[in-house]
Amino acid sequence: SAYIRKMALDGYCLNLDLPQLRRMSYLLQNCSNNLNQVAKRVNESNQLYAADIEDLRHRLDELIDIGRQILSKLAEL
């Protein structure tokens, strides 16, 4: 099996279940979709709204926080 092969080659195998990784993946997809929509609107209408920038900033801040949490948990291993 893949597990036995991994153990034979590396000597250890970590099975990480970090819900923050799933949340981070979701937020990254969400941010990229929102950014694409904002870029499309700006290219079509030449209008950029402060609310769009603030929303993206908020989502990116959340991504940064989650990234720090993940790194902290990994450092404990």
Please, how many CA atoms are within 13 Å of residue 51, restricted to the half-sphere of its CB? 1
For the chain, the straight-line distance linking the first and the last C-alpha, in angstroms and rounded, comes to: 25
42-60 pLDDT, tens per residue?
999 999 899 999 998 998 8
The answer, yes or no, to whether residue 9 has pLDDT greater than 90, is no
The answer, yes or no, to whether residue 7 has pLDDT greater than 80, is no
The answer, yes or no, to whether residue 72 has pLDDT greater than 90, is no
Q: Please compute the mean of the pLDDT values over residues 21-46 and round it to a whole number.
A: 90
Tokens of 29: 């997809």
Q: Please compute the mean of the pLDDT values over residues 65-74 and round it to a whole number.
A: 87
